[in-house]
Amino acid sequence: MLALLSMTAVRLGMGSMTVVRSLEDISRHSLIISGEIPGASPDHMMSPVGNIGRRGHQFPYVNHSPNPSREFSGSLGNVAWKERVDGWKMKDKGAIPMTNGTSIAPSEGRGVGDIDASTDYNMEDALLNDETRQPLSRKVPIPSSRINPYRMVIVLRLIVLCIFLHYRITNPVRNAYPLWLLSVICEIWFALSWILDQFPKWSPINRETYLDRLALRYDREGEPSQLAPVDIFVSTVDPMKEPPLVTANTVLSILAVDYPVDKVSCYVSDDGAAMLTFDALAETSEFARKWVPFCKKYNIEPRAPEWYFAQKIDYLKDKIQTSFVKDRRAMKREYEEFKVRINGLVAKAQKVPEEGWIMQDGTPWPGNNTRDHPGMIQVFLGHSGGLDAEGNELPRLVYVSREKRPGFQHHKKAGAMNALVRVSAVLTNGQYLLNLDCDHYINNSKALREAMCFLMDPNLGRSVCYVQFPQRFDGIDRNDRYANRNTVFFDINLRGLDGLQGPVYVGTGCVFNRTALYGYEPPIKKKKPVFFSSLCGGRKKTSKSKKKSSEKKSHKHADSSVPVFNLEDIEEGIEGSQFDDEKSLIMSQMSLEKRFGQSSVFVASTLMEYGGVPQSATPESLLKEAIHVISCGYEDKTDWGSEIGWIYGSVTEDILTGFKMHARGWRSIYCMPKRPAFKGSAPINLSDRLNQVLRWALGSIEILFSRHCPIWYGYGGRLKFLERFAYVNTTIYPLTSIPLLLYCILPAVCLLTGKFIIPEISNFASIWFILLFISIFATGILEMRWSGVGIDEWWRNEQFWVIGGISAHLFAVFQGLLKVLAGIDTSFTVTSKATDEEGDFAELYMFKWTTLLIPPTTILIINLVGVVAGISYAINSGYQSWGPLFGKLFFAFWVIVHLYPFLKGLMGRQNRTPTIVVVWAILLASIFSLLWVRIDPFTTRVTGPDIVKCGINC
């Protein structure tokens, strides 16, 4: 990587915007834009470092070459490929290749697979020798006194549910047959939905990490750190909806993370090619020189300045340094000035000039046309030259904006993440990847070390595809009326999955094993051959004919969970030739290029099991190759998005990506440190929240109707049965909106027609009804007991399940069907991350009209009308009609109580319902009741006899 730190700035003139920028130093801030290099000119040297932060201080470079990879990547790719082959040779001889290019021989009595290859042990140290045998983490099972009653209630609830459904099916309501039939169908669907949601939570676990053992094994004082390098991705699109100050805080928390600086690289993806984001990042890189040493000197938490200074705590507590108060006040002034500069950039960007943004040298900003612009790479901070105020090195900070051209499918966020995977592999090639949304900052500076306790564990780490952290949020009101914290999902559902094959990937706060993203399968423990495998020869096939037959078999099952690649098979194939046949090396490289794309440099990086870039790599080749791999046509005719990287085909690419990894046999880990690892912002406004849920549900519907549907995808693979249950539930849950909508309408219909969905029940039958409700509440209570979730959080989740189900989920079903059946694609908007500048929770009370509000409003009104009508009818009919009314009122009030937060959202800023609304509601209800009693339209009127004809004798 040190080879990147010496490059000279040049410019050339070809095409409309033909400028090449390379770096004299990785921290010298030159913008690299895709282009040919016909020559170099020293006339346009890069601006000095002190100019950073002023608009337009860089020069771009544009590429018009149809296939630049073959022009400049061949020599470097061959060198990297040969270095990888040399690594295989060392492994074949029993040596372990190290990340720094050296190697160690395995100790006697221990196999190579038992020692983590990135660690150099000193076996003479008895204490270390003892500690290195200890695991870096352990499972902490839920106490049996809490989990066993929970499991018993689940089984009992299943039995009661079966008896209840049997009773409902065998006892139809003859005078309300259509209503009864609809209700039974809905109840059967609810039962199936509950089973899919409940049983994956059968074996929840907790985990405990040992950071001291990690440090003793990989990061001892006075020795070079052997912790694995990590590339961190931050994705952003629209700086007007995702404020640059929010993104800046996320980046600053990354640069100040408690991890070796030479092992951290931060890549910011600007998929909107906004000059505002570029300039804000330049300001951030300058402020980081002061902020990072302050954080590390005083070990402050969190290391995002906005949230650190917003803490309402006594910052003098436990601070014994006499200089802390002075330094803190000075840093707060620096941050306020930094905010002024960022806000100034935002204010200036509100009005775009007619001719577009112009850079300092007079050339237009390459991203003026967001749908048609070249790829751009800007390195702000790096090793030498990227020093903080105290002369210490800073982590790398790289700005990336992939190429956009009309006529190409760019795949939104998933495409941007795949571009980051490739450009990071070329420039730094960290063994692990952390992806964060622009509004999710690192709240726990040791978060990366927590993840490494799993990923770098010699026994566990090799089979782990990612470590998922729970999402935690700032800026949510105490009552959390719309369940924005999703506590039930993060603290109950995902902990249950961790006891199976691991939690699903939730889109942010996740540390990936780069190898898993490349489509390789995990190392599988050797098992004794069963009868069928012994007949087929198992893994002992060596002849070419057997290999061809196995390849055909794998191609035949391309849609299953059979892994795309097997690193061990590639190595064995090359080692088997003893490296005598140069043609076999070329053929292996060409086959991988067909899968990964036409970049031999990138292909070579995918085979570096422990990350890093070749020492022989030249800076010019690396930067040119980085530009090439983010070109919009790079993924054509490759496996990107289908088997490699973030998977395309759904707006919720996170669920699909994690599912593919689990189907190949990888497992994931759920890490819940005491101090939350990451925190972000959530859309607390009702309309924004519903739009967010709509996007999630639409993505699930897209997966449900795709070839990757977990109902039929991957059988015969390595996906565990209950894990499949969980994935089926994550894709099928929006369909529950249809029976839920019908079930919420039924109470009002019953009240207005006088019918009911349940017949008169006997005392014996009523016991099963009572037991069903008791089991429902008991399940919830015991879940809260073992998970620590509060009853208020659980109840808010139940309420929003109804609100979101009859609005966002319902719309998602219809939009998904339109997309699948009619090909009508629906676009989604970026969730707003606006800061709270108008007071506490100002955004909560904003009312934004959207069509998603229509179904809940309608259902709320008709149930209120039904309640009034039912009570009016009972008053008019006498006391004998009150008994049947109570059952109908119970279901109607169930709907109204669940929709109460929605009603509050319609009320606006007031914490209580306005008096005028109460007065009008009472007045209208009274008038309606009087009219109902007078008209009584649903009562069959019996006509008496004709007195004129019959007289007294009738």
State yes or no: 594 annotated in a binding site.
no
Coil, strand or helix at 21: coil
| Strand ranges across the sheet with 472-474 | 441-442, 678-681, 472-474
Of 604, 600, 647, which is closest to residue 628 (Cα–Cα)? 600
CA distances from 503 to 410, 491, 730 (A): 28, 11, 12
Biggest CA pair distance of the chain: 122
Coil, strand or helix at 641: coil
Q: Before 302, cis peptide (omega within 30)? A: yes
Q: Is the dihedral of CA 340, 342, 343, 345 positive or negative?
A: positive
State yes or no: 271 annotated in a binding site.
yes
CA distances from 547 to 519, 524, 556, 558 (A): 20, 19, 14, 16
Retrieve residue 553's tokens.
Answer: 């078999």
Burial class (CB in 10 A: 0-12, 13-18, 19+), 655: buried
**Separation between Cα atoms, residue 21 and residue 13, nearest integer Å:** 12
Contacts with 696 (C-beta within 8 Å, 6 or more apart), sequence order: 652
State yes or no: 625 annotated in a binding site.
no
Question: Does 825 qualify as catalytic in the annotation?
Answer: no
State yes or no: 241 annotated in a binding site.
yes
State yes or no: 540 annotated in a binding site.
no
Catalytic one of 231, 388, 457, 654: 654
Beta bridge partners of 252: none
805-816 b/e (C-beta count within 10 Å ≥ 16 → b): bbbbbbbbbebb
Question: Does 792 qualify as catalytic in the annotation?
Answer: no
* Residue position matching structure tokens 């990612």: 466
**Separation between Cα atoms, residue 701 and residue 373, nearest integer Å:** 33
**Separation between Cα atoms, residue 365 and residue 363, nearest integer Å:** 7
CA distances from 37 to 595, 624, 757 (A): 28, 9, 77
Is-contact 98 615, C-beta < 8 A?
no
State yes or no: 653 annotated in a binding site.
no
Of 10, 7, 4, which is closest to residue 36 (Cα–Cα)? 10
Beta bridge partners of 206: 140
**Separation between Cα atoms, residue 658 and residue 464, nearest integer Å:** 12
State yes or no: 242 annotated in a binding site.
yes
**Separation between Cα atoms, residue 493 and residue 487, nearest integer Å:** 9
Catalytic one of 116, 219, 238, 271: 271
Give the single-character DSSP code of 828: -
**Separation between Cα atoms, residue 270 and residue 288, nearest integer Å:** 19
Q: Quick one: which H or E segment has residue 669? A: strand 667-670
Residue 23: alpha-carbon gap to chain centroid: 34
Q: Is the dihedral of CA 182, 185, 191, 193 positive or negative?
A: negative
- The 10 Å Cβ neighbour count of residue 732 is 19
Coil, strand or helix at 173: coil
Contacts with 197 (C-beta within 8 Å, 6 or more apart), sequence order: 493, 729, 733
Of 575, 499, 484, which is closest to residue 86 (Cα–Cα)? 575
Question: DSSP secondary structure string, 304-358?
Answer: -HHHHHT--S-TTTT---TTHHHHHHHHHHHHHHHHHHHHHHHHHTTS--TT--B
**Separation between Cα atoms, residue 236 and residue 370, nearest integer Å:** 13
**Separation between Cα atoms, residue 106 and residue 103, nearest integer Å:** 10
**Separation between Cα atoms, residue 410 and residue 101, nearest integer Å:** 37
Crossing angle of helices 686-704 and 791-805, rounded to 10°: 70
User: What single letter denotes the amino acid at residue 502?
Assistant: G
What are the residue numbers of the active site?
A: 271, 654
The binding site for Mn(2+) comprises 413, 437
The binding site for UDP-alpha-D-glucose comprises 235, 241-242, 271, 412
